[in-house]
Structure 1
Amino acid sequence: MNCLLFTWRKGDGKLKIHEVRKQLTTPLGAPAYPWGPYNFRNREYLNILYRTDMEALRRVVPEPLAIDEPLVKFEVMYMPDAPGLGAYTEAGQVIPVSFNGEKGEYLHAMYVDNHPAIAVGREVSAYPKKLGAPRLYIDSDTLVGTLDYGSLRVATATMGYKHQPMDLALARQELSQPTFMLKIVPNTDGSQKVCQLMRTQINNPTIHGAWTAPARLQLFAHALAPMADLPVLEVISASHIITDLTLSKPDVIYDYLAEH
């Protein structure tokens, strides 16, 4: 579009071009989210690491990431206090990978019940967030994490509630793994405007408590929340962690649209 069409006279009461350039997101006057940093207090995790089918993993992990073992982590996170975003819950799948020899985790899919968290995660960063209905709660002596997509159950995770203390250094290490994400932004003609692999990392989380216990995980087939495409063959371990942390700004580590 010709930029001359946006040249307005001073004092005509309209929003000026330089003012538009200062806006973070739309709609103007009621942005979908505020600017960070995004600090989380008493963020609670239920993590279940499980073994899956290697061929299924190869179909969803993009190059140049490498898969070392056929493992997936199912996680449910309850964020009761996230200034600017509110209180919300996430659930998703994380895949252990490596990039140029550095071990980390690839965020495969995230389902979230909070619009500001979805919008800022996709627009500013590269978190693969969709709308879902996850929950994390205590049922008698069991920590339960569930994910519904629409009206249908997609995942049910159960873990004994605080059976055994977990080493806090191991809990901190689990949360501080480098994280890789795929950011894709299309042009209006359907071509790719942005196609990048990004890296971020949580630094120095404050661990308030961490536990381990027996755990089980069920995944149910769904066309638009296909978590069961990475089937549960064996549960390896589980953790329950409560922490304070701040999300770090991601960096671009690979540009798929550049010539290599």
Structure 2
Amino acid sequence: MKKEDVIKQITTPLDAGAYPLPPYRFYNREYLNIVYKTDMESLRKIVPEPLEVTTPYVKFEIMKMPDVSGLGSYTECGQIIPVELNGEQGEYLHSMYVDSFPAIASGREISGYPKKLGKPNLYVDSDVLVGTLDYGTLRVATATMGYKHFPMSQAEALAEITKPTFMLKKIPGYNGAPLVCQLVRTEITDVEIKGAWMGPARLELFAHVLAPMKDLPVLEIVSASHIVTELSLSGASVVYDYLEEE
């Protein structure tokens, strides 16, 4: 392969790339979001500057994505923290556990999503929406929500899922020193809300050394939503470069 052709390739292996080029379109993307109150000091320890923690809240989120252009079908689960940067309200993506290698590879390499391999699941059990996360063979989280108890307005649903999101993109060099260390920003675009509901919910987290969700303990459930959408993701942009810090 010619040198100029090597540069044109998106990812390795060169003859069978790990993922296709974005943008990716998500059809019938289904959310279970549970916002809960946690320990403020625990949040301050893990949210990187210059982001500022604004409330003692965490959003536990499971997303079932059965139809994604280029990436197929997969499910994600993670913890998201409300933050502020230069007066803009947004969310910091703290952790994401995903059951698809192409989704993990593309998310980490292109945009810096904090994705690891896990086994999230979202399904209806009788009259309850259930979300679970396993890491290996061990249960990390179990979430339950009453199924479609109360309608949620389009405006409320949009506000729930369209906040700007911030992520830490960190890539080491061969000597172990950071080659890339950036805070990046992205957001959801071209959203169509196909259904949205609220209801009572419970969330239980279990201690795990490599999936430490319980380090942000559940003190009180604040709200829960179940949203079905069609949407796209914008490309990431750098908002702060740690290696260029004055």
Which residue number corresponds to residue 213 of structure 2? 227
Which residue number corresponds to residue 109 of structure 2? 123
1:56 aligned counterpart, secondary structure: helix
Residue 259 of structure 1: CA displacement?
A: 2.9
Q: Which amino acid aligns with 1:132?
A: G
Question: How far, CA to CA, are the matches of 2:189 and 2:22 in structure 1?
Answer: 16
Report matched runs for 1:167-246 at 5 Å: 167-246=153-232
Structure 2 residue runs of 5 or longer lacking an equivalent are: none
Q: Which amino acid aligns with 1:184?
A: K
Deviation readout 1:127-169 (Å, 9 max, x if unpaired):
0000000000000000000000000000000000000100111
Which residue number corresponds to residue 96 of structure 1? 82
Report matched runs for 1:1-260 at 5 Å: 15-260=1-246
Question: How far, CA to CA, are the matches of 2:190 and 2:33 in structure 1?
Answer: 19
Question: How far, CA to CA, are the matches of 2:146 and 2:190 in structure 1?
Answer: 27
Deviation readout 1:42-86 (Å, 9 max, x if unpaired):
000000000000111011100000011110000000000001101
Structure 1 residue runs of 5 or longer lacking an equivalent are: 1-14
2:184 aligned counterpart, secondary structure: strand
Question: How far, CA to CA, are the matches of 1:223 and 1:110 in structure 2?
Answer: 15
Deviation readout 1:61-112 (Å, 9 max, x if unpaired):
0000001111000000000000110100000000000001100000000000
Question: How far, CA to CA, are the matches of 2:237 and 2:70 in structure 1?
Answer: 23
Q: Which amino acid aligns with 1:207?
A: I
- Residue pair 1:176, 1:204 contacting (<8 A) in 2 also: no
2:53 aligned counterpart, secondary structure: coil
- When the two structures are superposed, what TM-score results if normalisation uses the length of structure 1? 0.94
Deviation readout 1:9-44 (Å, 9 max, x if unpaired):
xxxxxx110010101000011100000110000000
Question: How far, CA to CA, are the matches of 1:21 and 1:113 in structure 2?
Answer: 29
Structure 1 runs of 4+ with >4 Å offset: none
Identity value in percent: 66
Question: How far, CA to CA, are the matches of 1:95 and 1:101 in structure 2?
Answer: 16
Question: How far, CA to CA, are the matches of 1:97 and 1:36 in structure 2?
Answer: 27
- When the two structures are superposed, what TM-score results if normalisation uses the length of structure 2? 0.99
Aligned length: 246
Question: How far, CA to CA, are the matches of 1:246 and 1:107 in structure 2?
Answer: 17
Residue 204 of structure 1: CA displacement?
A: 3.5
CA RMSD, aligned part only? 0.6
Residue 116 of structure 1: CA displacement?
A: 0.2
Residue 203 of structure 1: CA displacement?
A: 2.2
Q: Which amino acid aligns with 1:100?
A: N
2:32 aligned counterpart, secondary structure: strand
- Residue pair 1:74, 1:94 contacting (<8 A) in 2 also: yes
Question: How far, CA to CA, are the matches of 1:197 and 1:58 in structure 2?
Answer: 16
Question: How far, CA to CA, are the matches of 2:190 and 2:72 in structure 1?
Answer: 22
Question: How far, CA to CA, are the matches of 2:37 and 2:191 in structure 1?
Answer: 27
Q: Which amino acid aligns with 1:40?
A: F
Q: Which moved more, 1:170-179 or 1:230-239?
A: 170-179
